[in-house]
């Protein structure tokens, strides 16, 4: 990690990450990106079940992107856990430009579609959003699979080969005397 990354207040403690519940774009295998998508019935059920999983884990505050699928997911946690919810626009999914609304298999690794954010722009935006989290307890970030990949790179943890599952809580644990690096425990 660079000194700039170490300076992120979030990286001084353990925290939780959760990708939003299922959306129609997930079901259909299309790129949603910055397009606002609603949760499916299953997505709502996933969010409720995940809130129960984190009920006794000491979550003290919640941070979400502005997109409806994350806000709706985060609302279940805010109500179930009785903790404040803060919206951070920089935690939105990558803007995929001309690829939004098209099949996910049209994405070409290493190629930025017209109108899309470059990987560097996306990474920098997400890091800016993460820098706004100055939690004193155990925060929960409700966001997107692309944001989770940036988070993994930032923590020095291997990126998943597949997308993180919808509404799958992840516990991000800092180095300690038994572990020399960050680790992510899927709950």
Is 56 labeled as catalytic in the residue annotation? no
Q: How far is CA 114 from the centre of its chain?
A: 24
d(CA 78, CA 83): 5
Choose, from 93, 100, 117, 144, the residue flagged as catalytic. Answer: 93
d(CA 142, CA 151): 12
CB contact set of 96 (below 8 Å; sequence gap of 6+): 31, 33, 34, 107, 113, 116, 117
Cα 22 to Cα 28, 65, 115, 156, 159, distances in angstroms:
11, 16, 26, 27, 21
d(CA 125, CA 146): 12
Is 44 labeled as catalytic in the residue annotation? no
Cα 116 to Cα 9, 85, 135, distances in angstroms:
29, 29, 31
Choose, from 20, 22, 100, 117, the residue flagged as catalytic. Answer: 20
Q: If we measure between CA atoms, which residue out of 5, 2, 11 comes closest to residue 134?
A: 11
Q: Looking at the annotation, which residues are catalytic? A: 20, 93
């Amino acid at each position: 990690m660079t000194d700039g990354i170490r300076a992120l207040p979030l990286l001084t403690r353990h925290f939780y990450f959760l990708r939003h519940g299922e959306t129609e774009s997930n079901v259909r295998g299309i790129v949603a990106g910055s397009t606002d998508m609603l949760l499916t019935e299953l997505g709502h059920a996933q969010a409720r079940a995940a809130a129960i999983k984190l009920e006794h884990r000491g979550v003290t505050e919640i941070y979400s992107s502005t997109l409806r699928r994350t806000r709706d997911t985060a609302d279940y946690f805010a109500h179930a856990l009785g903790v404040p919810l803060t919206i951070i626009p920089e935690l939105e999914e990558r803007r995929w430009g001309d690829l939004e609304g098209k099949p996910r298999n049209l994405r070409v690794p290493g190629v930025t579609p017209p109108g899309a954010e470059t990987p560097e722009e996306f990474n920098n935006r997400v890091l800016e959003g993460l820098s706004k989290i100055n939690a004193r307890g155990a925060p929960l970030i409700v966001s997107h699979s692309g944001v989770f990949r940036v988070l993994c790179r930032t923590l020095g943890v291997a990126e998943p080969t597949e997308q993180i599952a919808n509404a799958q809580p992840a516990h991000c644990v800092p180095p300690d005397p038994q572990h020399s690096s960050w680790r992510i425990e899927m709950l």
